[in-house]
Structure 1
Amino acid sequence: MDSERPRSSLRRSVARAILTALTPLILGILAPGLAGAAEKSVTFAHQDMVVPFRALMASGAIEKATGYTVTWRKFGGGGDVIRAMASGNVQIGEAGSSPIAAAASQGLDIQLFWILDEIADAEQLVARNGTGIQSVADLRGKTVAVPFVSTSHYQLIAALADAGLSQKDVTILNMRPPEIAAAWERGDIDATFIWDPVLARVKKSGTVVMSAGDIARKGKATFDGLVVDRAWAAQNRDFLVTLVKLIAAEDAAYAAKPWAAGSPEVKAVAKITGADPAEVPASLVSYRFPTLDAQASPAWLGGGAAKALTETAEFLKAQGRVQALAPDYGRFVIGDYVATARQ
């Protein structure tokens, strides 16, 4: 027995030495896989627009289907979302066509990969009752609040130009939606161009002067889209394909049977956006949600979105909102994930 102990001790020493020598090699082999697992996370910046996607967010279906940890961060406007993406802290974000066009003009390396909604009548110019404002021309000398560099801001400027007014003819205040709601209640502003849930609140004591749909019919269509950091997208293609499949399915479910005020989906939308559940169904109806096939069509990711971004950027430059134009706005639009999702 005594003679076996030295040999056993020697074997343990040799085993430890071999393990020590092999550890760096083993870790080197496993490291890429471990890193890949650690990287299965994404920070997603969203806003408060009342859209079916909110119900999908609340369900946890994205996390379950992809295996990713999704950190949801709510922002007050598209400009804030774009700034967060520029900082590198956000990989995917929701923004309107105006802030996306501005971001592309400034060289931010993002790609529009999904049209979240066509704004249609979901954004409106509302004047406070008693101000005497009945048309855009009546805004001369008045105070109007709007989130700067948002689609509402773009639409307001377009409406003013169409009415023969310049931005100097109106006092335009840069406010986020919650700030607009508070300013309206205080009586600090005469009008606002805004979306739900704030839109529903101001309409209770105001009059709609015009909508985004009116402006779209004059050739200046607007939309909200999902944009992604180009480098991150290249490493997480499967996530994006699954994401667009899930959004398309949620939109289709809503289109097939619009949600009633007491439904779980409406409650989820209201919780995330801060909207009154009773007002959510009417808010949803104000938007149009392109189907998976429509997303891939020439109207949207197949060319129309790039054209809209180009025209929006040109308008913003003419108004002094961007300093220069990008050579090609088409490079900021990608239909690959939708194309794969359709297969």
Structure 2
Amino acid sequence: MAGSSLSRLLAAAMSAAISFALFGAAPARAADREVVIAYQDMVLPWRYAQATGEVERATGYKVTYRQLASGADVVRAIASGSVQVGEAGSSPIAAGVSQGVDLSLFWILDNINDAEALVARNGSGVSRVADLKGKTLGVPYVSTSHFHALVALQQAGLEPRDVKVVNLRPQELAAAWDRGDVDAAFIWDPVLAKVKKNGTVLTTSGKIAAATGKSTFDGFVADRKFARDHAEFIAKFVEVLAKADAAYRNNKAAWTATSPQVAAVAKTSGATAADVPASLALYAFPDAAEQASKRWLGGGAESGAAQSLLATAQFLKTQGTIQAVLPDYGATIDSRFVQRAAGTSNKAVATATR
């Protein structure tokens, strides 16, 4: 009996030591178990977990959600200390890190693919990207859409000065579209679904990435100190995100306009429930194992995410959006948590198949 108890104590001590070695910090004190998570209006599977309190249950933290209008706003909020964790696209992440914001990228929310698009208003006289010369284009500045808008203009032989590019956040862009203030928009859902109703898609982020190699993604970033001091929270949060994405990937047919999952996504993002299934289908949601590979977060400076951030920063500098580019962006990538989630997932699969 005593030997059994001693074995359990030793096992517990060993487990704690391993956890400390992997994540580099002791568990947060109860008084510190609070976090502010910034989110945007993107249509994502994890909105269901967000709406149903799954993060709180899984982590034991008090979670406050704060909706912000753009990834640039999220990065600024993290830099100010008012937010600890938030959703941002690869472009604002690259811009923020290049300007000294100490971010840790720990989860890929999505590969944007065709979920962001350049749409011309019907009757604007714009039928191809080159026709935007002298026209007004609305886009949220320093967003992934802004980045790909600039790439698209370059590919069409246009300079940014050839087009009146107006900085509009998603809801501002929707209102400007309704008023007829813009000839075209580069944006994501739910506003994308709105402008498509009386507009024509000229190109998408997926097509631009395929043609130029300049891909974009949305990710979860954290203040680096918070990620270090609250590593166990991040690890459990990643497990929630992985399960949420898997629930969608493995049973897309259940995510209908009348399902509770889609209702939660619509309510949290501001989308119309009827548009949500089609919007989700435009993205790709990589699982933890794929994220742990070199394709995304594995490999430090050589990881796909770090290379994407570097290419984005280099382009943004040529456009005058940022003033400096780092030698590499490997320090921004934190693959520990997806590696742990991938291991947990693999163990669960192995157990289920025994």
| Counterparts of residues 248-287 of structure 1 (less than 5 Å) | 248-258=242-252, 259-287=255-283
Q: Provide the C-alpha distance between the structure 2 equivalents of 1:83 and 1:66, rounded to a whole number of angstroms.
A: 25
Which residue number corresponds to residue 34 of structure 2? 41
Contact 2:242/2:341 (8 A) holds in 1: no
Contact 1:107/1:326 (8 A) holds in 2: no
Give 1:56 shift.
1.1
Asked if 1:211 corresponds to 2:204, the answer is yes
Residue-by-residue CA offset, 1:3-42 (whole Å, 9 max, x unaligned): xxxxxxxxxxxxxxxxxxxxxxxxxxxxxx9x81111000
What amino acid sits opposite 1:177 in the alignment?
A: P
Residue-by-residue CA offset, 1:79-120 (whole Å, 9 max, x unaligned): 111111111111001000000000110111111100000000
Contact 1:91/1:228 (8 A) holds in 2: yes
Q: Provide the C-alpha distance between the structure 2 equivalents of 1:274 and 1:205, rounded to a whole number of angstroms.
A: 20
Q: Provide the C-alpha distance between the structure 2 equivalents of 1:70 and 1:326, rounded to a whole number of angstroms.
A: 33
Q: Provide the C-alpha distance between the structure 1 equivalents of 2:274 and 2:126, rounded to a whole number of angstroms.
A: 28
Q: Provide the C-alpha distance between the structure 1 equivalents of 2:222 and 2:143, rounded to a whole number of angstroms.
A: 18
Give 1:211 shift.
0.3
SS in 2 for 1:208: strand
Q: Provide the C-alpha distance between the structure 2 equivalents of 1:213 and 1:340, rounded to a whole number of angstroms.
A: 30
Which residue number corresponds to residue 88 of structure 1? 81
Give 1:217 shift.
0.1
Contact 1:244/1:341 (8 A) holds in 2: yes
Asked if 1:133 corresponds to 2:129, the answer is no
Counterpart among 99, 110, 115 of residue 108 in structure 2: 115
| TM score, norm. by length of structure 2 | 0.86
The count of aligned residue pairs is 311
| TM score, norm. by length of structure 1 | 0.89
Residue-by-residue CA offset, 1:26-61 (whole Å, 9 max, x unaligned): xxxxxxx9x811110000000000010111100101
Counterpart among 220, 233, 236 of residue 226 in structure 1: 220
Q: Provide the C-alpha distance between the structure 2 equivalents of 1:70 and 1:181, rounded to a whole number of angstroms.
A: 30
Which residue number corresponds to residue 14 of structure 1? none
Q: Provide the C-alpha distance between the structure 1 equivalents of 2:327 and 2:126, rounded to a whole number of angstroms.
A: 41
Which residue number corresponds to residue 234 of structure 2? 240
Which residue number corresponds to residue 25 of structure 1? none
Which residue number corresponds to residue 24 of structure 1? none
Counterpart among 45, 50, 58 of residue 52 in structure 1: 45
Which residue number corresponds to residue 8 of structure 1? none
Which residue number corresponds to residue 336 of structure 2? 336
What amino acid sits opposite 1:193 in the alignment?
A: F
Q: Provide the C-alpha distance between the structure 2 equivalents of 1:338 and 1:293, rounded to a whole number of angstroms.
A: 7
Asked if 1:144 corresponds to 2:137, the answer is yes
Give 1:327 shift.
2.7
Counterpart among 55, 66, 91 of residue 59 in structure 2: 66
SS in 2 for 1:217: helix
Which consecutive residues of structure 1, in runs of 5 or more, have no partner in the other structure?
Answer: 1-32
Asked if 1:105 corresponds to 2:101, the answer is no
Contact 1:91/1:229 (8 A) holds in 2: yes
Q: Provide the C-alpha distance between the structure 2 equivalents of 1:229 and 1:143, rounded to a whole number of angstroms.
A: 36
Give 1:341 shift.
1.9
In angstroms, what is the RMSD of aligned CA positions? 1.2
Q: Provide the C-alpha distance between the structure 2 equivalents of 1:44 and 1:323, rounded to a whole number of angstroms.
A: 29
Give 1:328 shift.
2.4
SS in 1 for 2:194: helix
Q: Provide the C-alpha distance between the structure 2 equivalents of 1:129 and 1:311, rounded to a whole number of angstroms.
A: 33
Q: Provide the C-alpha distance between the structure 2 equivalents of 1:129 and 1:195, rounded to a whole number of angstroms.
A: 18
What amino acid sits opposite 1:284 in the alignment?
A: L
Q: Provide the C-alpha distance between the structure 2 equivalents of 1:207 and 1:56, rounded to a whole number of angstroms.
A: 34
